[in-house]
Chains A and B, each alone.
Chain A
């Protein structure tokens, strides 16, 4: 039994009930104009943000569910809590003592520091992390970097936010961006001024608020000309008490000659629909790097998108998806070449096990006029046992003749030869499998900051336990 199988076996009744009762009584279920107005009022937002929310609500009710991808028909929109105010959330944070032993053990195995464990389990305040956070914050502020809670940013920097909010991802892009616009709450605002290079990865964990359910977070990142930065989001342990729908949004603007890397490890609880939308717009000679790991969550539809608007702009997508029992990971990358002489690469690795389904769905579009475009897509999949499956649906839309495009994919199982070689050197079957899988995903892991890479490796090891070859 893998350590993460506790998600199913754990008797969450006690843990959940305590939480449910404390906030669910006051927080309403279902979506309405009244709720949207209340959200805006409680956050004391400027008028234009309320207008935008209402527009989102309108579009949400008008738009249909997508007819492709994961089956979303079981989503009951009336049965979800879309927003709970800080007062309602007070009972949500339990004390560390109440966290089940199994859960504590997982954190130990993953090597997650004590302070982070408490925040992840919804227990304790972020006293420890707040201190560390404040020190770093002073350093960045001297450089003019703004790293703030999204709610606070709307208050403090309204003009800056208004210029970019829901502009990379339009409100009516699809049903869930419309929903997001209506009920978004919390998230990260990151602004890196011209010419500033932020060398240390900025971590969302510092921003994590135990009182925020994190399901409709909005992350807005603006990297001015010549600037550089790296932002890391997510964590490798599942989030507890998460509600069943996550429709977040990430918008990133990489200006002329700037470089930015966005890394995220998403591991939600089993009963979750993870329907985030992530998009970056890259200007002349800019570089955008996406590094992502998708584990956990029952159903995921996630396709980070790069729009290569400026000439000579570049994007690199690196992604791993691990679909375990009862999970569908429908993920991929979208790249749209607009400017001249643009370059893009996509490297995607999918693993399915125990009946999981791993799907790569990608778009590579070369607009007319994107002369000299070069693109390469590589997606590989490993199916680890007889119950699992893997599908690949790349869509290549080429409207320009002066291009060089390559796409390749392979699907298979772990080679018997490799397994035999390792076992003949004394490794157990599980150890050998884990080592081979680690090698399979290595190009992506090595792009993550060290502590995340270590956590990811351990996480994969745990997912691999008892897998049959």
Chain B
């Protein structure tokens, strides 16, 4: 599915599966993708177009796969991608994030950050933050972290009288700041 967005266009209820967004000049897109599956691509074709995507993935079991690509084509485009995944139980996930800059996209700035929280011994994550850069007058960066619920932070909270279970809940909520309530209930 391809969706073409032009300047000043108002869009609500954006699809989040197997879709390709093409942004025209000056378009600024904010994508919030929860429990996304399959592949999504955002093409920054128009000059000055921007995208900010936040991806949340939570799973208790099964095998999840998701691939989000920000492709810079036009001049002076900007992209920012944050992917947050938390796995419990026997969940496995493959999370791919790609920042691609085609030859000619002078002035592009792209950033990608992936954060994974593994909350059980059986959970497995396969994370691939990719950069494909074909132009030199650009800035691109990415980062990926994997962590567990921080013992120190847990201790701090429990030493203030919060039960361990509540403390874990609070920390996970903090990790997923910005996600919808539905998502958090899956986890907690």
Docked complex Cα distance between A305 and B130 (Å)? 20
Besides A391-B132, A391-B133, A402-B148, 5 other A-B contacts (C-beta < 8 A):
A390-B133, A398-B116, A408-B143, A409-B131, A413-B138
Docked complex Cα distance between A407 and B145 (Å)? 6
Q: Most B CB atoms within 10 A — which of A403, A404, A406, A407?
A: A407
Contact B144 A381 (CB under 8 A): no
Return chain A residues, CB-CB under 8 Å to B162: none
Q: Contact flags (1/0) for B41-81 with A, using CB distance below 8 Å?
A: 00000000000000000000000000000000000000000
Q: Contact flags (1/0) for B119-156 with A, using CB distance below 8 Å?
A: 11101111111111111111111111111100000000
Contact B133 A381 (CB under 8 A): yes
- Assess whether A401 is interfacial by the CB under 8 Å rule: yes
Identify the closest chain B residue to A358 (Cβ): B133
Docked complex Cα distance between A403 and B135 (Å)? 35
Closest-CB distance, B132 to chain A (whole angstroms): 5
- Assess whether B40 is interfacial by the CB under 8 Å rule: no
Return chain A residues, CB-CB under 8 Å to B129: 392, 394, 396, 407, 409
Interface pairs (14), CB distance under 8 Å = A385-B136, A389-B103, A389-B134, A390-B131, A392-B132, A392-B142, A395-B126, A396-B125, A398-B118, A401-B119, A403-B146, A403-B148, A404-B147, A411-B131
Contact B148 A393 (CB under 8 A): no
Residue of A388, A400, A411 near B118 (CB, 8 A) is A400
- Assess whether A105 is interfacial by the CB under 8 Å rule: no
Given A402-B148, A408-B141, A384–B136 Cβ distance below 8 Å?
Answer: yes
Contact A383 B133 (CB under 8 A): yes
Docked complex Cα distance between A384 and B81 (Å)? 26
Return chain B residues, CB-CB under 8 Å to A398: 116, 118, 124-127, 146
Contact A412 B130 (CB under 8 A): no
Docked complex Cα distance between A413 and B139 (Å)? 8
Return chain A residues, CB-CB under 8 Å to B148: 401-404
Docked complex Cα distance between A168 and B131 (Å)? 31
- Assess whether A397 is interfacial by the CB under 8 Å rule: yes
- Assess whether A410 is interfacial by the CB under 8 Å rule: yes
Return chain A residues, CB-CB under 8 Å to B147: 403-405
Contact A401 B130 (CB under 8 A): no
Return chain A residues, CB-CB under 8 Å to B118: 398, 400-401, 403
Return chain A residues, CB-CB under 8 Å to B119: 401
Contact A410 B141 (CB under 8 A): yes
Docked complex Cα distance between A383 and B136 (Å)? 5
Return chain A residues, CB-CB under 8 Å to B133: 381, 383, 389-391, 411
Return chain B residues, CB-CB under 8 Å to A400: 118, 121
Docked complex Cα distance between A409 and B129 (Å)? 10
Docked complex Cα distance between A397 and B137 (Å)? 32
Closest-CB distance, A417 to chain B (whole angstroms): 13
Return chain A residues, CB-CB under 8 Å to B135: 383, 386, 389
Return chain A residues, CB-CB under 8 Å to B116: 398
Contact B128 A407 (CB under 8 A): no
Docked complex Cα distance between A406 and B125 (Å)? 14
Closest-CB distance, A353 to chain B (whole angstroms): 10
Return chain B residues, CB-CB under 8 Å to A411: 131, 133, 138-141
Q: Contact flags (1/0) for A73-84 with B, using CB distance below 8 Å?
A: 000000000000
Closest-CB distance, B86 to chain A (whole angstroms): 11
Closest-CB distance, A464 to chain B (whole angstroms): 15
Return chain A residues, CB-CB under 8 Å to B134: 389
Contact A406 B136 (CB under 8 A): no
Closest-CB distance, B100 to chain A (whole angstroms): 9
Identify the closest chain B residue to A399 (Cβ): B124
Contact A410 B144 (CB under 8 A): no
Residue of A381, A392, A404 near B146 (CB, 8 A) is A404
Identify the closest chain A residue to B149 (Cβ): A401
Residue of B127, B132, B137 near A413 (CB, 8 A) is B137
Docked complex Cα distance between A404 and B145 (Å)? 7
Docked complex Cα distance between A404 and B150 (Å)? 10
Q: Contact flags (1/0) for A245-265 with B, using CB distance below 8 Å?
A: 000000000000000000000
Return chain B residues, CB-CB under 8 Å to A399: 124
Return chain B residues, CB-CB under 8 Å to A413: 136-138
Identify the closest chain B residue to A392 (Cβ): B131
Identify the closest chain A residue to B100 (Cβ): A391
Return chain A residues, CB-CB under 8 Å to B128: 393-396
Return chain A residues, CB-CB under 8 Å to B143: 406-409
Return chain B residues, CB-CB under 8 Å to A404: 146-148
Residue of B103, B120, B144 near A401 (CB, 8 A) is B120
Docked complex Cα distance between A133 and B131 (Å)? 46
Q: Most A CB atoms within 10 A — which of B121, B144, B148?
A: B144
Docked complex Cα distance between A397 and B141 (Å)? 20
Identify the closest chain A residue to B125 (Cβ): A398
Return chain A residues, CB-CB under 8 Å to B125: 396-398
Return chain B residues, CB-CB under 8 Å to A401: 118-121, 123, 148
Contact A407 B138 (CB under 8 A): no
Contact B140 A396 (CB under 8 A): no
Given A388-B136, A410-B141, A412-B138, A396–B146 Cβ distance below 8 Å?
Answer: yes
Docked complex Cα distance between A401 and B120 (Å)? 6
Docked complex Cα distance between A381 and B130 (Å)? 13
Docked complex Cα distance between A391 and B103 (Å)? 13
> Which residues of A, 386-444, contact B by the 8 Å Cβ criterion?
386, 388-413
Return chain A residues, CB-CB under 8 Å to B137: 386, 413
Identify the closest chain B residue to A414 (Cβ): B136
Identify the closest chain A residue to B126 (Cβ): A397
Return chain B residues, CB-CB under 8 Å to A412: 136, 138-140
Return chain B residues, CB-CB under 8 Å to A405: 144-147
Return chain A residues, CB-CB under 8 Å to B139: 410-412
Closest-CB distance, B44 to chain A (whole angstroms): 17
